[in-house]
Amino acid sequence: MLKQVLVFLVFINCFYSSAQSFKATQQKCERVKTAYTEKWETLQKELTKQGIDKNNFQLFFRVFKKDKMVEVWLKSNDKKQFQLFKTYNICASSGDLGPKRKQGDNQVPEGFYTVAVFNPYSNYYLSLGVSYPNQSDKILDFNNPGGDIMIHGNCVTIGCLPLTDEYIKEVYVLAVEAKNNGQQTIPIHIFPTRLDDKGMKYLQTNYEKASLIDFWKNLKTGFDYFELHHQLPKVTVDKKGKYVFE
């Protein structure tokens, strides 16, 4: 019983040390501390090599399900455009292309999300929670939409995005740095595949459901904006659950 209480107190300490910076609080957790020890020095060199301010950058994740790929885009706060920093392979997947619509469907969501939680005590080493269900999902889901979608370590999944323990250490450290330096919202855009002409042709050839194709055409508008500008569109949701971009 005493051991359980001590573990709980350490857990609380990792989340609620409000007098310290987010980074300092996170580094009180052993797995985060290990991730920094193993990865941060090399990451700083890579950031500098690519011309990114290692002390002041913003982060954006872009996910392609068919390609089993997570792209990490960064930009220094004094720059307007994001640049591709690294690409990580998703090491296990579940479900099919298409959005997640109910709990237990094994689907990875598709749409426009943010990092909802940092979990240094994940069952899968470290994890970043995806803000599923978002407003669009809530409007379009007629059943219990489920939740707890994560970018995490290990290499198992039911609807999540596993990267292995080694790579989640890098991703987690970058996310902590971005948040610690003032980025309140870290976007995560999840697509079925690259929504260029080749990708749309693949989807239209292999999936006949009109509502699904319309959904992907809606996502394509946001995809195209970032492809053209390397800047994030402002995303809202209308009363029918459709994404609207500014």
Q: Active-site residues: which are they?
A: 152, 160
Q: 3-state class of 8 per DSSP?
A: helix
Exposure string of 34-73, with b = 16+ CB inside 10 Å and e = fewer, is ebbeebbeebeeebeeeebebeebbbbbbbbbbbebbbbb
CB count, 10 Å around CB of 80?
9
List own/partner pairs for 34-39 with CB under 8 A and 24 or more apart: 34/169, 35/126, 35/169, 35/170, 35/172, 35/173, 36/173, 38/169, 39/169, 39/170, 39/173
Q: 3-state class of 39 per DSSP?
A: helix
